[in-house]
Amino acid sequence: MRVLVTGGAGFIGGHLAESFAKAGHDVTVLDNLDPYYDTGIKERTVELGRAAAAESDGAYALLEGDVRDATLVDELVGDADVVYHQAAQAGVRTSVDNPRKPNSINVDGTLDVLDAARETDLERVVLASSSSVYGKPEYLPYDEDHPTTPVSPYGVSKLAAEQYARVYHEVYGLPTVSLRYFTVYGPRMRPNMAISNFVSRCLNGKPPVVYGDGTQTRDFTYIDDVVGVNRQLLADDSADGEIVNVGSTDTIDVRTLAALVRDEIDPSLGLEYAERRTGDAEHTHADVSKARELLGYEPSTSIREGVSRFIDWYRRNRHWYEPLVLDS
């Protein structure tokens, strides 16, 4: 199949593009290589995508450009069978500092993709959404019917994007699926995330820093589980028009997570605490019943197993990854 991955040099998009190329598909990546974090990580991701295509019958092409370039998006979407729309301005704290940038990229960019797609006979558009759309929990775990009251501009932008996708399905008949990811982590993850920060500091003999009192809980989802459900959607139309949670169902509080990383690397270290950051959600916990029913989704990696895998990967790739993490 011809697969377009917007934001395909980023963390999740990069893993998707690599997986599709490895499976023999023809992959086009659209990415503006925004230096939101060190682009060396994105360059390594692109290298792995090209290597995956070289080892299979697939193809991999990177086109540097922006999803807000409607003419370019029209051209690329018109040549695709399936679009995975991963391009976004990520980061809750970034959105608090500058709410207009995530709105421009996450909302206007999504509209460019959807407008281009409704003029074609695409199999589907798969949109990356986020658990940040839920905001303050009225109950846990979150199911897809839980009220959406985001507590950050980032969450608002993701909610708007997924609602546009839903409406384009209902009004124009465009096959869309929005996946609400719950804190995805794994190899080549963004360096300013909790797990990568904890691991980097501990390997350098520094205690992990917990923002707030550490009682905040997170549903961390390992990247392999996210790739699996996206691959399912290459040919599965059972979730068309739907918004679906993708999480691990396995929660952990941030203080326990920091201690887990610390104990695996250097139990002699303590924990440090700093002021909680504005816009951070108090709790996340996914109910994945809908994904299980529609797509047979079964998260396979517990947080403890996933953290251990990430630490192993980090140690093997420390020579190139760590300098980029420390610079970010």
Could you give the residue numbers annotated as active site?
154
DSSP code at position 136: S
d(CA 45, CA 63): 14
Residue 92 tokens, joined: 């809750």
DSSP code at position 283: B
Q: Which run of H or E residues covers position 129?
A: strand 124-130
Number of alpha helices (DSSP H) and beta strands (DSSP E) in the chain: 13, 13
The answer to whether 292 and 248 are in contact (CB under 8 A) is no
Note the residue count of the chain: 328
CATH architecture of 2-182+223-249+281-300: 3-Layer(aba) Sandwich (3.40)
d(CA 38, CA 174): 35
Residues 6+ apart with CB under 8 A from 213: 255, 273, 276
pTM listed for this prediction: 0.96
> Following DSSP, what letter does each residue of 65-111 receive, concatenated?
--TT-HHHHHHHHHT-SEEEE------HHHHHH-THHHIIIIIIHHH
Output the pLDDT for position 328.
46
| Mean pLDDT, the chain cut into blocks of 10 residues (328 residues total) | 98 98 98 91 97 97 98 98 97 90 97 96 97 95 97 96 98 98 96 91 96 94 98 97 95 96 97 87 93 97 96 95 71
Per-domain boundaries in the chain: 2-182+223-249+281-300
Output the pLDDT for position 326.
63
